[in-house]
Structure 1
């Protein structure tokens, strides 16, 4: 993992969740590799590498992020094969 990976991932979600409207706007997406889905991948890797106490702390934050991300995206049935990478890859934003 890169230095500050967790901080960078959290800042991507902070930026995304500041968007107005019910759903995240697909036209507001970052560059490939800089999407919030990529940030969620980074958080997943980080939580697996932390000691148990820090895992619980970051896990609680991730649970809140996941709930908000799920609330602000829609299911994408055509990308169900991406679930092997994480459920967050099977969601889509408003177009």
Structure 2
């Protein structure tokens, strides 16, 4: 009598458990944060505290914020208005939206992770204030980064 193959036996056996799913790929590491703070940021992103926050948004926002500030030369910088500010991905073309994403995450982080992210943002914010001009016509109740002059969307 021929022997049954192991694969044939497994195929004939009833499945007791659901098939395994591949775990979702983790968002990229937020540059400059420790592993603990990075994990806390990703947890806060998954909770979606704001409509602009999605998984991976903090890392992208921080990279765009740094890229805007580390442009060569010491000239004034003018944040560019996003052409389509209604969708989260397009809105991050405006560096002020990137700063909004980071500000939206801060209250949802544990104290140590929040302090670590604030330590990263503090020199970037100082550079942003130094390289941008105040907008005298901005609403006074807006966050400070929205009270800086920016390029119009048509310019």
TM-score (norm 1): 0.82
Q: 1:3 — aligned with what? A: 55
User: C-alpha deviations, 1:35-81, integer Å up to 9, x for none?
Assistant: 111011111111111000000000111111110100010011011x1
**Unaligned ranges ≥5, structure 2:** 1-52, 86-90
Q: 2:143 aligns with which of 86, 91, 95?
A: 86
C-alpha contact (below 8 Å) 1:9/1:39 kept by paired residues:
yes
> How many residues were matched structurally?
91
Q: 1:54 — aligned with what? A: 113
Tell me by how many angstroms 1:20 deviates.
2.5
Q: 2:88 — aligned with what? A: none
Higher relative contact order (CA 8 A, sep 6+): 1
TM-score (norm 2): 0.53
Residues 30, 92 of structure 1: alpha-carbon distance in 2 compared, 3 angstrom cutoff: closer
**Unaligned ranges ≥5, structure 1:** none
Which structure carries more helix by proportion? 1
Question: RMSD of the alignment, in Å?
Answer: 2.0
Q: Tell me, in whole angstroms, the C-alpha distance in 1 between the residues paired with 2:146 and 2:81.
A: 15
